[in-house]
Each structure stands twice: as C-alpha cells, then as structure tokens.
Amino acid sequence: MDLSLQGSDDASEIFNFSALPDSGATRSIIDYHVLRRHGLRPDGKKREDVLIANGDTIECKGAINLAVEFQGHTRIVNTLVAVGLTEGLLLSWHDLKAFGVLPPDFPNSQLAPSVNKVNTVASPDASIPVPSAPPVEDS
C-alpha cells in the first residue's frame, strides 16, 4: 500500500513510502534506518518490547508520531521504531481500520466465509454424498 509519511512537526520532509498492511499487528512499526535516512528521530523514552510473529523480540528504539496520508486521508499514527524490520513499515490493524482498509468491527467481523466446513449429518437425499468419518481401529 502506497502512502506518504511526514514527521508530525510539519517541518520534516514528506516522503512516499510503501507499507505492508498487517492485520495481526497491534501496533504500527517502522524501521529505524528508514527514519534516519529522512532525518527523523524517535522519542527514546517511549520504548516497548516488540514481539514479532515468530515469537522473537526485536530492539525498539522508541516511538514517533507520523503524519500518514493514504488515499487522500491523513492521520497521525503513533509508530514504534524498531531495528532490523525487514519491511520498512507495518501498519497495524487499528490504523488499517482508521483508514477504512479493514471493516469498522474488525477483528470481530468475519472477512471471508469458511469454505472448509464439512457436513457430517446424514443427508435425507441419497443422491447427495455425505463424507463419513474414517473408521476407528481397536488397539
């Protein structure tokens, strides 16, 4: 998802950026080196542990408020700043909801119907095959 970023102080440069929407992330996270390239510094007093999907923790240098513009809408996104993030910016589900990318009732909404449900009730119509459970072997 392509967007524009700027430090929330309006004095910093605006730069275009490609972000990864992450509906599993509870916080938006930007790579420390991306900020440094654009002359921005995080508030080092606001450090939090950053636990990633594989269970590892990555170093957090602090947080920064960024003015993020996406499809004509701008909002201030409080973003953690981490070292070693392979994607430059991950947008959390909270921020994705605020930009209208995810439905307002996410994560309680169902994004797609389940296609893997199997009917295990015997069908009254013999022409419709019904899967049966595998036989249980005695041990």
Closest-CA residue to 77 (of 95, 61, 89) = 95
pLDDT score for 11: 63
pTM of the model: 0.70
Per the CB < 8 A criterion, the answer to whether 94 and 21 are in contact is: no
pLDDT in tens, the chain (139 residues): 888 888 876 667 788 888 899 998 999 999 999 888 888 888 888 777 787 778 888 888 999 999 999 998 999 999 999 988 777 889 999 999 999 999 988 888 765 554 444 444 444 444 444 444 555 555 5
Cα 76 from Cα 125, distance rounded (Å): 58
Please give the single-letter amino acid code of residue 11: A
Domains identified in the chain and CATH numbers:
2-98 (2.40.70.10)
Q: Where are the beta strands (DSSP E) in 32-138?
A: 50-51, 57-58, 60-70, 73-82, 89-91
